[in-house]
Structure 1
């Protein structure tokens, strides 16, 4: 899918979020990366194979 040189990280890679942005829809809360990953503003992800990566929740220290 990626035509960049060097190629972007694959959807299976741990650094998949470093791929180039293909479409950005902040009004809807999502972006599409060139590796096929849908990245949501709550930090959740949907991979091309349908796997869901839950949002990362950061909690404040008391």
Structure 2
């Protein structure tokens, strides 16, 4: 249960990455969010139920210099 006000988004919500970081390990490339999501530096995620979300980096702009 999230102790923050307003509460952090749940692990099932689309904005789950907006939850607060409760443990950060940048040297290992991951952070644990308040909602139980493990967020990796490559933008991949591991949800509390074991589901893995593939990295979802934005695509580069075509024609950008």
**So what's the TM-score if we normalise by structure 1?**
0.91
Extract unaligned runs of 5+ from structure 1: none
Which residue in the other structure is 1:6 paired with?
A: 6
Please report how far the alpha carbon of residue 56 of structure 1 lies from its aligned counterpart in structure 2 after TM superposition.
1.1
Please report how far the alpha carbon of residue 32 of structure 1 lies from its aligned counterpart in structure 2 after TM superposition.
0.3
The structure whose Rg is larger is 2
SS at match of 1:24: strand
Please report how far the alpha carbon of residue 41 of structure 1 lies from its aligned counterpart in structure 2 after TM superposition.
0.1
Which residue in the other structure is 2:33 paired with?
A: 33
Extract unaligned runs of 5+ from structure 2: none
Cα RMSD after superposing both structures = 1.1
Please report how far the alpha carbon of residue 58 of structure 1 lies from its aligned counterpart in structure 2 after TM superposition.
3.5
- Size of the aligned set, in residue pairs, is 62
- Change in CA separation of 1:29 and 1:13 when aligned onto 2, cut-off 3 Å: same
